[in-house]
Amino acid sequence: MLAADKYDVPLLIEICEAYLVDTMNTRSALEALEVASRLSSATVLKEAALSTIVHNSESILFSKDYEEFALKNPLLAVKVSQSVMRQLKSRLYAKPPITQ
């Protein structure tokens, strides 16, 4: 995907992004976020990676992989932390459904 961006091949960027989003899992989310952060056009990949990390935050944020990721990418680690806090806050203040 980085090569497709470097050589400005938009269709290949889209194909790579779609593949990475479709195969996203907890093990690949940090790397995908790191790649997406380097490319201005990879907003879908960035959102998918961030969403995967947020929804699996307990297992990801307490892993050795995340420690290494945070050391290499401090600004991204801050964004991840902010996203996790937003998610926790929305769960905490979510109104229960009204039943009649």
Name 85's Cβ contacts closer than 8 Å, sequence gap at least 6: none
Query: Can you give the residue ranges of every domain in the chain?
Result: 2-92
DSSP SS3 for 47: helix
- Please list the rounded mean pLDDT of every run of 10 residues in the chain (100 residues): 85 93 96 93 94 97 97 98 94 77
Give the tens place of pLDDT for each residue, 19-30: 999 999 999 999
Render the burial of 54-74: b for 16+ CB within 10 Å, e for the rest: beebeebbeeeebeebbeebe
